[in-house]
Amino acid sequence: MTALGPEARLGDFEASLDVGLKRSNRNAKWSKHGPDALPAWVAEHDFRPPPAVTGAMQATIDRGDFGYHDMEEDVGAAFARWSAERYGWSPDPGFVHTCVDVLQGVTAAITALAAPGEGVILTPPIYHIFLQICPTARRPQLEWLMRHDREAGWTLDPDDLEALVKREPGARVLLWCHPHNPTGWVPGVEVLQRVVELAHAYDFYVVSDEIHADLVYRDSSSPFVPLLSIPGAAERVVTVTSPAKTFALSGLRCAVMAYADRGLRRRVRQAHPPLLLGHAARTGIDATIAAWTHGAAWTDGLVAYLGDRRDQLAKRLAAETPAARFHRPDSTFLAWLDASDCRLGDAPATRLLEQGAVAVSEGSEFGTNGRGHVRLNFGTSAAVLDEILDRLTPCLRP
C-alpha cells in the first residue's frame, strides 16, 4: 500500500487501495453487502488521503490532547484560502462556521429558511437522502425536474424553475446540488445567474450543497463556479460543503456553512437552539484544515485518475453493452446508467447484486425519472473497476 504524497502520480492511487484492509476495517462501502460482492454504491472513493491529512490527525493523537478546542476560525480561514486559490472566490472567514456534516447543515438551513408548510424545491433525479428531508421536516416537497437529451445528457432549465415558482408561490427554498448527484451535471454561469435572479424575483432562498465541487473534470463543458460568487447571491444563498468527498473523510464529521450576508447568517444561526447542532470533532477539523491547506496538488492528481476511470467505464460499456446508456459526467466519480433496456425489471440494482455480485444504487431511490437507472461508483482502482465490469456487462444485455 502506497502513501499518497502531495505530488501523487496516477499509479500511486492504484497502489493505495488495500481491499483486505477496507473489508477488515468494517468500511461500510466494502462490508455492507458481504465478502463476495464488489461495492459500487455509496458515494465514497477508495483512496487514502494524502499524508498531510493523516499526519495532522496523528499529531493530535501524539499530543494526547482530546479536550475542547478553539479552532472554528482556523477552518473558516482554510476554506477561504482553498476557495480563492481554486475558484477565484474569497469568502469572508468570519461568515463561515462548522457543522457536523453536509446533511446536517443542509437540513438546518432548509428548516431555518422554510417554515412548516412552506415548499422546498428538489431537482430529481436527486441524491436520495435529500428526499427524506421534506417528509420528516413537514415541508411540502416540490420538484424542478431535470431534462434529458441523448447528446447533452441531464440538465436543468431555469424556465422550468420559473414556471414552478409561479404555480407554487409558497416555495421558499431551492435545494441546489452543485455539482449534481447523481448525474454529474455542472451548470454554467448563465444558469447560476438566472437561479439567483429568480430567487430575488420570487422570494425564495437557495441552499447550495457543493460537496463535489473539487471533482470537476478538465473537459467539462463548464468549470465549477461557487454559487455565492454570483452577483446578488449574498442575500439569498447558503452554501454547505466539506472536503469529505474529495479526500474520503466522511467518517470524520466536519463540514462548513458559508454565507456572504450577515443577516442571512444570523437568521440561520438563530433559528435553532444554540446547543442543538453541536460542533465538529477535533480530528475532523485537523483533517479538514490539512486537506484545504496542503491538498491542492493531490486533488489535481485524484481528478486526473478519476478521469481515466471514467474513460475506462465509458469505453467498456460502449464496446460490450451499449444497451446500458451512459452520458459521461462532467464531475463526480458517479455514473448514472440507464438500464431500462437491459431486461432487469423495476429494480435493476437488486438484480445486478443477485446476478453479478456487484452492489450499485437503485435508480428509483433518486426519485422522479430514476426508474430503470442505477448509480455506479467508479472511484476505485482500474483493476477493481475492470472486475466490476466483468461481472456487470453480461447482465446488462438487451
Instruction: Please list the rounded mean pLDDT of every run of 10 residues in the chain (398 residues).
Output: 55 77 87 95 96 96 91 95 97 96 97 97 98 97 95 94 97 98 98 98 98 97 97 98 97 96 97 87 96 96 96 97 95 97 96 98 97 97 96 95
The contacts of residue 190 (CB under 8 Å, 6+ apart) are none
Residue 106 CA to residue 133 CA, distance in Å, equals: 9
> What is the reported pLDDT for 379?
97
DSSP 64: T
Residue 286 CA to residue 270 CA, distance in Å, equals: 27
Strand, coil or helix: 171: strand
Nearest-CA neighbor of 300 among 173, 182, 214, 174? 214
C-alpha cell read off for 323: 444497451
* Length of the chain (residues): 398
Topology given in CATH for the domain delimited by 60-294? Aspartate Aminotransferase; domain 2 (3.40.640)
Q: What is the β-pairing status of strands 147-149 and 153-155?
A: antiparallel
Q: What are φ and ψ of residue 297, in 5° steps? A: -65, -40
Domain boundaries along the sequence of the chain: 10-50+296-395, 60-294
C-alpha cell read off for 395: 447482465
> What is the reported pLDDT for 101?
95
> What is the reported pLDDT for 187?
98
Nearest-CA neighbor of 186 among 302, 350, 329, 4? 329
Residue 349 CA to residue 1 CA, distance in Å, equals: 31
Nearest-CA neighbor of 232 among 271, 275, 197, 207? 197
Residue 44 CA to residue 377 CA, distance in Å, equals: 8
Strand, coil or helix: 133: helix
pTM of the model: 0.95
Domains 10-50+296-395 and 60-294 share a fold: no
> What is the reported pLDDT for 213?
98
Residue 372 CA to residue 387 CA, distance in Å, equals: 23
Nearest-CA neighbor of 243 among 112, 113, 52? 52
Give the dihedral sign, CA 218/285/128/324: positive
Pick the CATH number of 10-50+296-395 from 3.20.20.70, 3.40.50.300, 1.10.3720.10, 3.90.1150.10: 3.90.1150.10
Q: Cell 409561479 appears where?
A: 166
> What is the reported pLDDT for 8?
56
> What is the reported pLDDT for 26?
87
DSSP 216: B
Q: Cell 476495517 appears where?
A: 25
C-beta separation of 326 from 312 below 8 A: no
